[in-house]
Amino acid sequence: VVMTQSPLSLSVPLGQPASISCRSARSLVDTNGDISLTWFHQRPGQSPRRLFYKFSNRDSGVPDRFSARGSDSDFTLKISRVEAEDVGVYYCMQGAHWPFTFGQGTKLEV
Amino acid sequence: QVHLVQSASEVERPGASVKIFCETSGYSFTGHTLNWVRQAPGQGLEWMGLINTNTGNPTYGPAFSGRTVFSVDTSVATAYLQILNLRVDDSAVYYCATASFDHWGDGTVVTVSS
């Protein structure tokens, strides 16, 4: 399943909002009836960190300026007010169909 | 607290093999699958596949079927990734991650160069 992110790069002033789109070629409703879309953030030189699972469930420790929404095959990650620590690459990943696939990544510069 | 500790970096010649480990702690190793993810230099993330840590049964992504071998040693809660007949384009960071991708290892850098 091809995952298409846009934009591929984003430069946002501190304190301004940012939005990343992730689109799937197929519905991401899995066999359990859940929407299996995960968002990750990878800072330079670090391992990826999960931000959201099942498309909108925020992980512990993720600031509430991050939000995620979507439906079926169209998803969005939003940052209400970008901070310096938000730099890096954001990936979406689908886990509804094997093989799991990642989007190309969106590089955020602040 | 969940920890995934991976091998140090490796440098190998083309045609050689490499086996890296992912030592886990802080959760039930055999109760969950474990994923492997590759990241080539300057590139994005690729899911390589996963292993059922209870049965040892691997599932490989289509791009990684053939020269990739997943295995586990449940006695030490450790998973292994072996790559056979290495090629230069196997040079990458290899990550292990828990079943739901909520915990990741630090990655192992594999460099293949003659």
Express each pLDDT in A39-55 by its tens digit: 999 999 999 999 999 98
**What is the chain A residue with the closest CA to B109?**
A45
Q: What is the pLDDT of residue B80?
A: 98
Quick count: other Cβ atoms within 10 Å of Cβ B106? 17
Task: Write the residue in B59, B100, B105 that is nearest to A47 by C-beta.
Answer: B105
Banded pLDDT at B78 (limits 50, 70, 90): very high
For residue B108, is pLDDT > 90?
A: yes
For residue A19, is pLDDT > 90?
A: yes
To probe the interface with A, which of B47, B60, B106 has the most A CB atoms within 10 Å?
Answer: B47
In sequence order, the β-bridge partners of residue A50 are A40
CB B71 within 8 A of CB B55: no
Banded pLDDT at B24 (limits 50, 70, 90): very high
**What is the chain A residue with the closest CA to B94?**
A47
Place of tokens 């990650």: A77
Number of CB pairs, chain A paired with chain B, less than 8 A apart? 48
To probe the interface with A, which of B45, B108, B109 has the most A CB atoms within 10 Å?
Answer: B45
Given CB atoms, is B94 within the 8 Å cutoff of chain A? no
Q: What is the pLDDT of residue B58?
A: 96
For residue B91, is pLDDT > 90?
A: yes
- Give the full edge-to-edge strand order of the sheet including A74-79: A3-6, A18-24, A74-79, A66-71
Mean pLDDT of B36-47: 97
Mean pLDDT of B35-56: 96
Task: Write the residue in B44, B95, B97 that is nearest to A91 by C-beta.
Answer: B44
* Phi, psi of B43, deg, nearest 5: -110, 180
Cβ-Cβ contacts under 8 Å for B93 (sequence gap 6 or more): B38, B39, B107, B108, B109, B110
Quick count: other Cβ atoms within 10 Å of Cβ A46? 12
CB B97 within 8 A of CB B35: yes
Share of chain A above pLDDT 90, in %: 92
Q: What is the pLDDT of residue A31?
A: 85
Q: What is the pLDDT of residue A72?
A: 86
